[in-house]
Structure 1
Amino acid sequence: MAVTLRLPLLSPPFYDQTANLRRQPHLHKLPQLSCSRRDAIILTSLVLPAISLAPPWSAAATDSPEKEKANVSSRNPFLNGIANTKSWSQYIGDGFSIRVPPLFDDIMEPEDYNGGLTYYGDKAKPKPFAARFASPDRSEILSVVIKPSNLLKITFLEAADITDLGSLKEAAKIFVPGGASLYSARAIKVKAEEKLKTYYFYEFGVDKQHVALVAAINSGKAYIAGATAPEMNWENDGVTLRSSAISLSVV
């Protein structure tokens, strides 16, 4: 099953966790999924269960770097498309932090901060977004979604790491919507509290939108950050959006 971002509305420089945070060639197309609205794409890539995919998969690179981008960028071209986000504003949410691009506005509604729940009688409905920011013209969006990992994939034990959902290739069926053109996929390991935590990064295009998505798991919860923009904007703003998504840090 797959998860959706909310389009415009929705790999790690490696996070600088010491600061309390931190185009690629077309590879192949995934099976067709009709998307009529940009909003549906992000919410489809970040939040909702998706259609089973069976893409032809070319070998995706896997990185196991230390936190500092400077030490590895010269030998990893992937990092040349990442900006230093240390000077950006940091948003600290429930179990995560992320760096917000300059000039982006917080577009969460006031009721969205009510413990992440909306009440209907005696029932509580989870909010779709844990954080949401937009460019001044609202064409570019940064969103964070938190979902119980067992809603993404049924497991007998509580998922502790993104690898519990499967390999980078297998997890693409969850995070990349059908019909998307996958540009890049990376598994990135970051040292945190004396152990390595894996983050999965996917960059893809769908319905004239370009999306950079990073996902990680902690204590049975999946944290998914997605940065989205019209494909025509990506050449100018892609580095900023990709860097913001990759700054996701699960704490």
Structure 2
Amino acid sequence: ITSHEVFFYIHLPLLMAILLHSLSLHPPILRPQNPYRSKILSSSEPSATPKNTTLRRDVVLRTASLCFVSFIFQNPLPESLADPSKSSKPGRLGIANTKSWFQFYGDGFAIRVPPQFEDIMEPEDYSAGLSLYGDKAKPKTFAARFQSPDGSEVLSVVIRPSNSLKITFLEANDISQLGSLKEAARIFVPGAATIYSARTIKVKEEEGFRNYYLYEFGRDEERIALVAAVNRGRVFIAGAAAPESKWKEDELKLRSAAISLTVL
């Protein structure tokens, strides 16, 4: 294993811990509205088959690095993700019309926010990147965070340099440069999770199509819809999460919010 790969495996759990921590938090409010961008679902990447792999929350938190590296080397992905030829085409993906939802514009991205969700970014979160510490700016943990009135459902966006997830010699401009849907699952889905579905979403742009990867998975009695995309060397990750007990009721809303992520 090369030194680059060692660096890669050591830092991946930190990113997953940041994103998964962001999908459970609290309170300020919102801004204006804009048109909805149509997204084309590709059936070339099939749904994943559930696997009964769960760990208690305290074990996961204390051994996140070990679990994640162990997953990469030992745990195969669900069969339908690992070998598309063995799976039938995925069913139609249920999404809501989000055109009337508030559209938040962030640094290089936009995302639709479900009705009644509140902006819970603290003022210092917005200006964190402006304060210098020595010769380095303090990076923002989150690019956006919203939650339901009762705080049980959370929508978060995280931005990271693409080469912090996978070493590339050229600036990445599409998520396919980080690997296929199956390969990228090792980056975005923690080893202790049960994957319920995985899809590629293609969005028509002026210069062709842009790929977005969607993963839905469960961990520690929580369900998460995660959408990731790459543009100009940065990875944009949107995650919508809810307790397992509320997912059935609000899955359409939360999935639609994650899928509304658009890189600009």
TM-score (norm 2): 0.75
Counterpart in the other structure of 1:93: 106
Displacement, 1:180? 0.2
Instruction: Name the % identity.
Output: 58
Distance across 1 between alignment mates of 2:186 and 2:226: 13
- 1:9-40 CA deviation, whole Å, 9 max, x = no partner? 3xxxxxxxx81557x8852256x6664399x6
Mapped pair 1:36 → 2:36: no
Distance across 2 between alignment mates of 1:117 and 1:37: 36
Secondary structure, counterpart of 2:111 in structure 1: strand
- 1:79-126 CA deviation, whole Å, 9 max, x = no partner? 3x2101000000001110000000000000001111645544553221
Counterpart in the other structure of 1:57: 78
- CA distance 1:113–1:172, change in 2 (3 Å): same
Q: Which has the larger radius of gyration?
A: 2
- CA distance 1:201–1:29, change in 2 (3 Å): farther
Unmatched 5+ stretches in structure 1 = 10-17, 45-49, 62-74
Secondary structure, counterpart of 2:227 in structure 1: strand
Secondary structure, counterpart of 1:235 in structure 2: helix
Counterpart in the other structure of 1:146: 159
- 1:128-187 CA deviation, whole Å, 9 max, x = no partner? 100000000111100000000000111111111100100100000000011100000001
Select between 163-172 and 113-122 the one with higher mean Cα deviation.
113-122
- CA distance 1:29–1:215, change in 2 (3 Å): farther
- Which structure's relative contact order is higher, taking Cα pairs within 8 Å and 6+ residues apart? 1
Distance across 1 between alignment mates of 2:245 and 2:152: 11
- CA distance 1:21–1:56, change in 2 (3 Å): closer
* Residue-pair matches, total: 219
Unmatched 5+ stretches in structure 2 = 1-8, 26-33, 39-46, 83-88
**Aligned-residue CA RMSD in angstroms?**
2.8
Counterpart in the other structure of 2:258: 245
- CA distance 1:215–1:56, change in 2 (3 Å): closer
Match of 1:198 among 211, 215, 222: 211
TM-score (norm 1): 0.78
Q: 2:109–2:261: 8 Å Cα contact kept in structure 1?
A: yes
Match of 2:92 among 49, 63, 78: 78
